[in-house]
Structure 1
Amino acid sequence: MLHDRSGHLLQSLLENPAFRCWAEGRCAEDGAMWEKWAAAHEDGQAILRQAVEIVRAVPVRDEHLTDEYIQRKVSDALQAAKRQEQMENSRKKESFFPVFLSGWNVAASLLIVVGLGFALFRIYHNAHPTPKAAEANLPANALKEVANTERPFKYVQLPDGSSVVLHRNSTLKYPRAFTGKKREVYLTGEAFFEVTKDPDRPFLVYAEELIAKVHGTSFSIKAVADEKEITVAVKTGKVSVFSERASPTLLLTCNQQATFERTGAKFVRSALKSPVLLNIPIENQEFTYSETPAATVFDALAKAYGVNIVFDAPSLAHCSITATLGDEPLENKLKWICTILEAKYTITEDSITITGTPCN
């Protein structure tokens, strides 16, 4: 029977960028992780299979639909599927839908018929947060500037969901919305990046004379204005680095580093035992957990990203997490954790609040 918990899990999957990336075939290497997810939940295989069918069934993009509209339509469709099943069960008659269709097939059919073009939550993948009221009247192409002048490191969330951990005495400038074919940010100082995967829109970091181009990976950049070198160190994935003053372009992979010597305008590549460049926790943290208490996981995330995570310790005291979170940005990690815990989160500039029901 279609029930609230299953509906919640289905909706959580559809809203999860990491899941959609795998379901669409763009992150095939994550298959084992989603099989573990299915094994950890009641009816997990059926829910996972149905979510994949929904993602693949509606390829239409519609950049004008809002997040709220999509969420409301998904909720409406799931509720309609639930009512449909209850009506059919009460009548004890042969269903209008073929016998082999489960409640989840009904939900998928309704979602498709609703025809949202759904952008199928791909809109979520490309969505941009609504600017704060104080910024609403600024030009669409205005750059927002975040400077870290006091803390050892500071968390910055970009409009596409990418994470930046900004080192002390560093500044990051970025558009209030990534609207073009490229996602471009400007760094002075030192920062660690976890970039949301989007093959259609490359991510570029302009750091003094160096440019780093990525599609989705984690890496550090050190580009201090008065220093002789600019350095990039890759934790996961691939990063291309280049400069108008030097050639050729270097392609860096996991545990590789490139140093741009500003005086001679040349790149030097080197291998690393670990991708530590800025000496901040997130550079060598793995985010792999096996039946780990939720409080321990939240504390680790808070220390890695330099944010304050508030949660109801008594309610989550008996909750544990088994997951490999990888190099996904912080918000993706939160979505995954909250899916496991059936919890919710809210993000403000410097704080994250987790709310949920007690674990059995």
Structure 2
Amino acid sequence: MYQKYASFQTADFVADADFIEWVRRPTASSNQYWQEYLEVFPYQQPVLQQARQTVQLLIEEGRAIPPASEEAEQIWEAIEENLSASPIRRMGFMANGWQRWAAAAAVVLALGVSWYLIAFSNSGAPESYQALVREAESIQPLQEVVNTSAQPRLVELPDGSTITLEKDSRLSFAKSFVGKNREVYLTGAAFFDVTKNPDKPFLVYTNELVTKVLGTSFRIQAFEKAKNIVVSVKTGRVSVYPKKAKKNTDPETAGMLLTPNQEVNFARAEERFNRTLIDKPTVLLTKEELRQYSFDDAPVSQIFAALEKAYGVDIVFDEEVMASCHLTTSLSAETLFDKLEVICEGIGATYKVVDAQVVVTGRGCNQY
């Protein structure tokens, strides 16, 4: 059903009659078709977006679809006047068909959409958040919540999920989640507490990244002009990946999977991920469960295993080297890193965090 468009590029879309008709006169059924198409081929989203923007730009400048002959002439004249190279050969138009519009769109693509934006737009290139929202609203209306106050603002979504929107942040979402996904759009910072629904993933679009969850709690910091995007997980599992992906690849494979107490820092300029632990990892166990972890001259391997369960972290160490290390301790209200300092001091070891894992190194306890 959608295979025809699986490998379409931008120029292919703008020359396709069905695609043009959808942009010209969208209907509920055509909106659903293209939404489902993106769910089947998510890697095509940037291509589809660029094609739609090209169509919309020509629509705006043509003032009619297809453009009246006089207005079309003006567009052609503007294109030719701004060409730095020799003028291209003008293409013949059919009297009243979509083909002449598609030909104009193809020429604009050949010149470069960026030039067209400069030539015909007074507002400049749209911000990422605005572009994402405009893209989504072409399928269904969105409502926006803006927090300009100094206090966090609580937002409840149609599925029961709650979002704590921080200062100078914006959030857009549909009044009802239709289709296979629950999608929201964020610029700024917010904490998400997402209602579990394995059949309908929850997607947060922020600048270059997509954060995908089934039901969990996490925080995103993604201001438009910030150099980095940070996603921190409190509970559950979160998949973070770039919206852009190579052709015919799953974009999630280019991202990272985060678990509780982990965060990823995405450097936007280098397009590079750096996964680590959050500054203050929280205990995932109840106070009653925590009291059960008391150790009297216990192997350090048991203590590390307890820490892994309590904080949801991986602790890497050489079990053979540290087989003779024993300690008497308990898991109290101390932070993870405070506890690690005490343990490492007791066994003559050191630790560091590498890719969200705690790596403990030492000579063993036979040396002491």
Same fold (TM over 0.5): no
TM-score of the pair, normalised by structure 2: 0.37
TM-score of the pair, normalised by structure 1: 0.38
The structure, 1 or 2, with the larger RCO (C-alpha pairs under 8 Å, 6+ apart) is 1
Which structure's CA Rg is the greater one?
A: 2
